[in-house]
Amino acid sequence: MPKQKAYYIIDFDSTFTQVEALDELARISLKNHPDKEAIFQKIEDYTNFAMEGKLSFSESLAQRVKLLEANEDHLKLLIKHLKKKVSTSFSRNAEFFKKHADDVLIVSGGFKEFITPVVSQYYIKKENIYANTFVTTGDGKIIDYDHANPLSEEGGKVKLLQHLKLEGMLFGIGDGYSDFQLRESGLINKFFAFTENIARESIVAKADHVTPSFDEFLYVNDLPRAISYPKNRILCLVIGEVDPATIAILKNDGLSIRQKTSFEEKYVQDVGIIILANGEKLDNEQLKNAVKLKTIGYLGSAKNKFDFDLCTRQGIVVFDDPKNNPRNIDFIPKRVADFMNTGATYLSSNFPNLQLPKIDKSHRLIHIHKNVPGIMAKINTVFAKHDINIVGQFLMTNAEIGYAITDINAQYDKQLFKSLKKIEHTIKFRVLY
């Protein structure tokens, strides 16, 4: 039976971009207005009322456009701004949009005048962009919008999809009530509540799946993606009293953060990263059982706080601050994030120090193994058997372990990973991207 064609119906504001474009336009157009703060607040309120389903979309839109006092010069500034505000996980998956240019539709209650220049950079076809349009005067002042466009009305996305009559599997990705309405109407097969920028409780509760990033959407639907495993699925446990700035760095990187006063048993099997406040300790039993633990960041000197040798044998990279510099609050979280994103062990306390450039259009594989002769030959034999072309390879060793990173540019099958994990003396293996 042939596979059904898939369509991806993607919202623009607070989904494809990190912001609500009309709110941003107001900040540009009303920059010098004496009552700007009060007007900004009104516009944001109208936006949120519509997104949460508390006010009809048409009423919200009419009120916002009325308050804007914008013109075409303001639009040019907005477009420049929005191009820098594309959601991080959409931005890094530009290849997906290139490959699926025929299948991606942007459906938004926003306006084509600013949406088209932003999404066109991502290979999305102009004919696949459905949005409202402004009405302007001869001198470029925005005075209204096209009321005949179904997307300007309450339930506009539903009306549009009824008209399009798309056949196949339809996936909806968005943050607001109008996106959920597509699922409620039965016009799409699954609704994914996109929460990378904002999580609206009333929408999250109704979603088929909550997707904190576009990587998560691609992962659960087994679609090609820039990173192998969504960061929101990596549990980062913060133990003890830690500066909020430290946590913010890791949270902004997309990790799932839990802050606790101790290393609770229920987290031992699943934790991928541990950040320890100065003075905290870990016992050997916990370390042995933390099978998914990739790295520990210690906010101070970790000497005598846990067993470095055991961490090395377990393939756990340790970053600490031996000089105990309290002003250095971003040093450890940045090293941890860099290791998770590129495999760099630079300035680690127990691993060979390796700093690496990120190579575009390649897959990065990490293999940690006991430092015994012949392992690299076995790794490369596996690559040869699977007809893998190696773009770059890095190996560093110390007395205990070998740390090998291989960048490959071929398509691969899952059997390759199984073969690499089965190599004798392997400690840990993972795919970075």
- Proportion of the chain above pLDDT 70, given as a percent: 99
Other CB atoms within a 10 A radius of the CB of residue 324 amount to: 12
* Measured distance CA(124)–CA(98) in Å, rounded: 8
**What does the pLDDT average to over 167-196?**
95
Q: Of the candidates 219, 212, 257, 263, which has an alpha carbon nearest to the alpha carbon of residue 235?
A: 257
What ranges do the domains of the chain cover? Answer: 6-221, 234-342, 362-432
The yes or no reply on domain 234-342 and CATH 1.10.300.10 is no
Which comes out higher in pLDDT, residue 358 or 102? 102
Please write the tens of the pLDDT for every residue from 264-317.
999 999 999 999 999 999 999 999 999 999 999 999 999 999 999 999 999 999
CB 337 within 8 A of CB 344: no
**What does the pLDDT average to over 74-83?**
97
The tokens describing 338, both together, are 């860099």
3-class SS string, the chain = CCCCCEEEEECHHHHHECCCHHHHHHHHHCCCCCCHHHHHHHHHHHHHHHHCCCCCHHHHHHHHHHHHCCEHHHHHHHHHHHHCCECHHHHCCHHHHHHCCCCEEEEEEEEHHHHHHHHHHHCCCHHHEEEECEEECCCCEEEEECCCCHHHCCCHHHHHHHHHCCCCEEEEEECCHHHHHHHHCCCCCEEEEECCCCCCHHHHCCCCEEECCHHHHHHHCCCCCCCCCCHHHCEEEEECCCCHHHHHHHHHCCCEEEEECCCCHHHHCCEEEEEECCCCCCCHHHHHHCCCCCEEEECCCCCCCCCHHHHHHHCCEEECCCCCCCCCCCHHHHHHHHHHHHCCCCCCCCCCCCCCCCCCCCEEEEEEEECCCCHHHHHHHHHHHCCCCEEEEEEEECCCEEEEEEEECCCCCHHHHHHHHHCCCEEEEEECC
User: What is the per-residue pLDDT for 1?
Assistant: 53
234-342 and 362-432 agree in CATH topology: no
N-to-C CA span, the chain: 32
CB 240 within 8 A of CB 276: yes
The pLDDT confidence band at residue 78, using thresholds 50, 70 and 90, is very high
Please write the tens of the pLDDT for every residue from 211-249.
999 999 999 999 988 888 899 999 999 999 999 999 999
The pLDDT confidence band at residue 57, using thresholds 50, 70 and 90, is confident
Q: Calculate the average pLDDT of the chain.
A: 92
Q: If you search the block for the tokens 């179904």, which residue do you land on?
A: 150
User: What is the per-residue pLDDT for 219?
Assistant: 94
Superfamily of domain 6-221: HAD superfamily/HAD-like (3.40.50.1000)
pTM given for the model? 0.83
Q: Which fold has domain 362-432?
A: Alpha-Beta Plaits (3.30.70)
